[in-house]
Structure 1
Amino acid sequence: MSTPAPAPEQPAPRKGWFLDISPLRESPAYARFWTSGVAGGIGTQLTAVAIGIHVYALSGSTIAVALVGGFALLPMIVMGVLGGTIVDAFDRRKVLIVASSISFVAPVGIAALAWFDVEQLWPYYVFTTLSSTIGSLVGAARFAIHPRLVERRLLPAVAAWSGLSAGLQVAVGPALAGVLVGTVGFAWTYTIDIGLFLIGFWGIVSLPPIRPEGSSRVGLTSLLEGIRFLRGAQNLRVAIALQIAAFAFGRSYAILPAVGALVVGGGAPTVGILAAAGAVGVILSGVLSGPFGRVRRHGRAIALATGANAIAVSAFGVLLLIFTATPRELDATTPELGVLLSLAGVIVVAGAADSIAGIFRTTMMQSATPDAVRGRLQGLFTLVLTAGPRVGDVFAGVLAAVVALWFPSLVGGLLIGAVALVLYRLRPGFRLYDAKEPVP
C-alpha cells in the first residue's frame, strides 16, 4: 500500500538517544528504498570525488575542478523547475524509473572515457552535467515519495534516516574514491560506480505504484501553482534560504585537492579523508538523533544548527591560514597527521551541524506541505540541494585561485552566520514554528 492511512492518535515522542528504527520496521518498501538509495548514492559520491581528482590531475587547476559543477548549473535550474511538475503529475515510481534509466548513461560514459585514457576535459563535463541535471528530477521524486511510504508520525525519524543515508554516501563514497584512485586507478573506480548504480535501481523498481493524489499537469500553470504556494510559505522560504547560504558559502570540496597537495600532503587518500570527514559528523548526528523527535521549535533548531555550521566553516579557513603561513616540507605519499586531524575535525563539526539543520528542515517541509504540491516544492528544494553545492564549488574554487586557499572558508562562514542572524531576527513566525501545528 503506497499511501498508509493516518493513525487516529499521535503516539508520544519516542524516548532515547539513538535513531528510531520504526520506519524500516513498519514499511518494508521504505526499507528497500532506503538501503538501495545508500548504495546508489555511494556510487554517485565516489564518482564526484574521483572526477575532481581526475580533472585536477589533468589540468592542475582548481577552477577546472569548480567547472565540473559550474557547467551543470543552468541545466539543473531548468530541470529543477520542471521536475517538480513532472513528479506531481505522474506515478512517482515511473518517474524514477525513467529518470534513472537516462542517468545511467553518465557513469557508463565516464568509465568509458577513463578506460580509453581520454584527456580532454569537455567529455567529462558533458557526462557530469547529464548526471547532475537528471539528478535534480530523481531527487525531487525520492523525497516526495517518503511521506507516502510511512505515517506522518514517523517523518522526523525518516528525516534522520535520510540524513544518515546522506552521511553514509558522502563518507564511504569519497573515502572509497581516494583508496580506489590511488590503487586501481580511475577506470576501475568509475566502473564500480556502475555496479552501485544498478543496486540503487533495484530499490526503485521494487517500489509499489505511487500515483498522484491530486490532478496536476506538466506545464506553466502547474509550475505557477507551486510558486504561489512557496510565496505564501514564509517558514519554508526561510528554511530553504538558510540551506542556500550554507551551500553557497560553506562548501570546500573544490579546494580539497589543492589542500591535499599544498597543505597536508599524502595525495588522493588525503583528499578522500577530508571529503568524507563532514559525513562522519552527519552519521554521528543521525545515530544520536533520538532526542530530535521531542523538539517542537524547528525554526529555532535550524537557526542554531546553521550558526554552529558557520563557526566550523570559518574555523576551517583560519586553520588553513595558519598552516599555509607556516613553512613545511610536505610528503606526497604521507600526510602530516596533526594537520589532517585538525582540518578533518572542524569538517566533522560542520557536517554534524548542517545535518541537524537538515533533519528539522526536511521534517518541516514534508509535514507542512500538502501532498498535491509536494513534488513541486521538492523539485525547487532539490534544485537547492543539487545546484547549491555547485555554486559553492565555484565560490570556493574561484576565490581560492584569485585570493588565497584559506579565504573562501573564512569569509564564507562569516556570511553564513550573518544570513542566519538576520533571517532569525526578521521572521518571528520562523522563530516560533511549532511542530505540533505545522504552518508552511
Structure 2
Amino acid sequence: MIRTLGAILPDLTPFRSSRQFRLLWLQGLVTYFGSSMAMIALPLQIKDLTNSPLAVGAMGAVELVPLIVFGLYGGALADSADRRRVILLTEAGLGVLAVVLLVNALMPSPALWPLYVVAAGVSALAGLQRPALDSLLARIVPHDQLTAAAALNSLRWQIAAVAGPSLAGLVVAYAGTPTAYAITIVGFAASVMMCLRLSPAPPSGAADSPSLRSVVEGARYAWSKPVLLGTYVIDLSAMFFAFPLAIFPFLAQDLDAQWSLGLMYGAIPLGSILVSLTSGWASRVRRHGLMVVFGAAGWGLGIAVAGWMSNIWLVLLCLVVAGGGDAISGLGRATIWNQTIPEEFRGRLAGIEVLSYSCGPQLGQVRAGAMAGWTGTRTAVWSGGLACVAAVGLLSAVVPKLLTYHADTDEDALRRRAQKEATDAADAAEAAGAA
C-alpha cells in the first residue's frame, strides 16, 4: 500500500533537492493568498462606488493591454537581467500599489480612478514578473524533476485559487476592504523577505538589452520549433472555444439551480487539485506531447458534456473532469517548455506564454457570451466544448511532432539536459573552490 501511495501522491523530490525551489514555492503561496484579498476587494469596491456592472467589467479591459505589452517586454527582460532582481522589484512594486489601495480606502470618500490605475499597474507588474518566475524553474530544479516541480507549482496555485478567494470573501464581508488591503500589504512584505533569500540568477553569457528585436528573435525561435508552437496553439484554442465561465450565472439559471453558481466556479479548480494530488505518475511519463493533446481534449469534452446535461450534479462532475484535463495538459506544456527551451530564450518564450495565458481566456469569455446571446446558454457551452475537441484533433494532425515528442529522444530536450548538467557541474566546482 505504501508503494502504491508513493506512485500516486505528488512527487516531493524537488522540495528535498532544491532549497531555492522550496523558497520560491512558499513565496508564491504567500503572494497568492495575499493578492487574493485585493483581487476580491477591488471589484467589490468598484461595485460599491458605482453600482455599475459595466464599471466592474471595465477593469478587465484596463488590465489586458498592460499584461500583453509588459508580458512581452518582461520576457526579454528576464533573458537580459538578473531574474531574482526582477522578481524582487516587481513584488515590492505590487506591495506599493497595495498601499495605494489601502490609503484610498481609508479616505472619507474613496476615489474611483485610483482603482483603475492600480489595476493597470498590477497587470503591468505581473506581466513583467511572470516570465522571470516561469523561466527560473528550470535553473533551480534538476532536469529529471521538472514534471514533479510543475505539478507542485500547479498544486500551490490551485490551493490558493480555491482557498484564497474564499478566505478573502469572508475578510471583506466581516472586516471590510481596508483590512483586506492591509493583509495584502503584509503578504507582499513577507514575499519580499523570502525573495531576498533567493540566490542571484544573472543571464547566461552575454545578453542584449530588452528590445523589440530581441522579442521578435524569441518569437522566431518559437515559430521554428513545431513542438513548442503546438503547445501554444492548442492551449490558446482550448481556452478560446471552451472557457464559458462568464456565462455560468446564466447556466445556473437555466438549470434552475442558482444556488450552484459557487460550486460551478469551484468545480474546475477542484478537478485540477485532484490531478495534482495524484500526480506521482506524471514523473514517469516521457511522452509529454500526448499529455498536452489528451488533456486539452479532455477539457473540451468535459465542457461539452456539461452543456448537454440537465442534472446539476452531473454538470458539476463534468466540470471537475474538465478541470482535471486542463491540469494534465498544463503539466505536459510546462514540462516540454522547461525541458527544451535553451536558457538564453527561456524568458522571452515565457513572455509569449503570457499571451496564451491572458488572451485565450479573455477571448473565450467574449466568444461564450456572444454565442450564448445568439444560440442560448447551454448550446454555447456544449458547442464550444466540441469545437475545442475538433480544434485539438486538427492541430495535432498539423503538428505531428507534438504527438511523437519523447523526453529521452527529442534533440532539444537532450541538448537542454546537457546544458543543465554542464551548468550544475560548473556551479559545484565553483562552490568547491570557494570552500
TM-score by length of structure 1 reads: 0.82
Cα distance in 2 for residues equivalent to 1:102 and 1:435: 38
Match of 1:10 in 2: none
1:149 aligns with 2:140: yes
1:223 to 192, 215, 219: 215
Residue in structure 1 matching 2:61, options 57, 70, 76:
70
Give the direction of change, closer, same or farther, for the CA distance of 1:41–1:210 in structure 2 (3 Å limit).
Answer: same
Say if 1:23 and 1:387 are closer, same or farther in 2 by CA, change over 3 A.
same
Deviation at 1:281, TM superposition (A): 1.6
| Structure 1 vs Structure 2 CA RMSD | 3.0
Aligned-partner residue type, residue 90 of structure 2: A
1:265-284 maps to which residues of 2 (within 5 A)? 265=258, 273-284=263-274
Cα deviation for residue 203 of structure 1 reads: 2.7
Q: Does 1:239 align with 2:211?
A: no
Equivalent of 1:348 in 320, 329, 350: 320
Offset of residue 353 of structure 1:
1.1
Comparing 115-124 with 369-378, greater Cα deviation is found at: 115-124
Deviation at residue 350 of structure 1 after TM alignment = 1.9
Q: Do the aligned partners of residues 402 and 118 (structure 1) sit closer, same or farther apart at CA in structure 2, a change above 3 Å counting? A: farther
Given that residues 23 and 154 in structure 1 are in contact (C-alpha distance below 8 angstroms), is that contact kept between their aligned partners in structure 2?
Answer: yes
CA displacement, residues 37-79 of structure 1 (integer Å, 9 cap, x when unaligned)? 0121233344334445555666676655443222222222211
- Structure 2 residue aligned with 1:299: 289
How far off its partner does 1:232 sit?
0.5
Match of 1:358 in 2: 330
Paired residue type of 1:250: A
Farther-moved stretch of structure 1 (176-185 vs 76-85): 176-185
Q: Residues of 2 paired with 1:246 and 1:352: CA distance? A: 14
For structure 2, which runs of at least 5 residues remain unmatched after alignment?
A: 413-435
Tell me whether 1:374 sits opposite 2:374 in the alignment: no
Q: Is the 8 A contact 1:132 1:386 kept in 2?
A: no
Which residue of 1 is the match for residue 277 of structure 2?
Answer: 287
69-78 or 428-437, which deviates more: 69-78
In structure 2, what is the Cα distance between the partners aligned to 1:48 and 1:166? 14
Q: Does 1:250 align with 2:242?
A: yes
Residue 396 of structure 1 and its aligned partner are, at CA, apart by 4.1
Shift, 1:248, TM fit:
2.7
CA positional deviation for 1:143: 0.9
CA contact (8 A) 1:62 1:397 kept: no
Identity of aligned residues (%): 28
Would the aligned equivalents of 1:281 and 1:349 in 2 still touch at CA under 8 Å? yes
Matching residue's letter, 1:146: L
Q: Tell me the SS of whatever aligns to 2:28.
A: helix
Shift in alpha-carbon separation, 1:40–1:271, aligned structure 2, 3 A: farther
Distance 2:253 2:170 in 1: 16
Contact kept? 1:175, 1:275, Cα under 8 Å? no
Q: Please say if 1:313 is aligned against 2:303.
A: yes
The question of whether the paired residues in 1 share the 8 Å contact of 2:307 and 2:315 is answered with no
- RCO (CA 8 Å, sep 6+): is it higher in 1 or 2? 1
Q: Which has the higher helix share?
A: 2
Residues 37, 249 of structure 1: alpha-carbon distance in 2 compared, 3 angstrom cutoff: same
Q: Take 2:375 and 2:114, find their aligned partners in 1: how far apart are those partners?
A: 29
What is the Cα deviation at residue 356 of structure 1? 0.9
- Residue 195 (structure 2) aligned to one of 204, 213, 225: 204
Q: Distance in 2 between matches of 1:46 and 1:260?
A: 26
Greater shift after overlay, 115-124 or 135-144?
115-124
User: How far apart are residue 118 of structure 1 and its match?
Assistant: 6.2
Cα shift at 1:359: 0.6
1:416 matched residue in structure 2: 388
Q: Which runs of 5+ in 1 are unaligned?
A: 1-13, 324-338
User: Aligned ranges for residues 13-24 of structure 1 at < 5 Å?
Assistant: 16-24=7-15
Select the residue among 94, 98, 105 that pairs with 2:89. 98
User: Secondary structure of the residue that 1:210 maps to in structure 2?
Assistant: coil
Secondary structure of the residue aligned to 1:86 is helix
| Superposition TM-score, scaled by structure 2 size | 0.83
Q: Distance in 1 between matches of 2:104 and 2:289?
A: 46
1:35 to 2:7 alignment: no
The 3 A distance-change label for structure 1 pair 356 and 153 is same
Give 1:250 deviation, angstroms. Answer: 3.2
Q: Distance in 2 between matches of 1:413 and 1:57?
A: 35
Between the aligned partners of 1:202 and 1:314, the Cα distance in structure 2 is 45
Q: CA deviation at 1:389?
A: 3.1
Q: Tell me the equivalent position of 2:130.
A: 139
- After alignment, is 279-288 or 49-58 more displaced? 49-58
Q: Aligned partners of 1:315, 1:210: CA distance in 2, in Å? A: 46
**Contact (CA 8 Å) 1:62, 1:401: kept in 2 or not?**
no
Task: State the SS of the aligned residue for 1:213.
Answer: coil
The aligned amino acid for 1:305 is: G
Q: Taking structure 1 as reference, are residues 188 and 102 closer, same or farther at Cα in structure 2, changes over 3 Å only?
A: same
Q: 1:315 to 1:374 in 2, by over 3 A?
A: same
What CA distance in whole angstroms lies between the structure 1 residues aligned with 2:402 and 2:217?
23
1:151 shift after superposition: 1.1
Contact 2:95 2:184 in 1 (8 A): no
Would the aligned equivalents of 2:68 and 2:358 in 1 still touch at CA under 8 Å? no
Deviations 1:148-186 (A, max 9, x none): 111111111111112112211211122223333443344
Shift of 1:430: 1.1
CA shift for structure 1 position 128? 1.8
AA matched with 2:9: F
C-alpha separation in 2, matches of 1:34 and 1:54: 30
Are 1:63 and 1:401, in contact at CA under 8 Å, matched by a contact in 2? no
Partner of 1:180: 171
Q: For 1:124, which of 106, 112, 115 is the aligned residue?
A: 115
Task: Verify the 8 A CA contact 1:63 1:398 in the aligned structure 2.
Answer: no
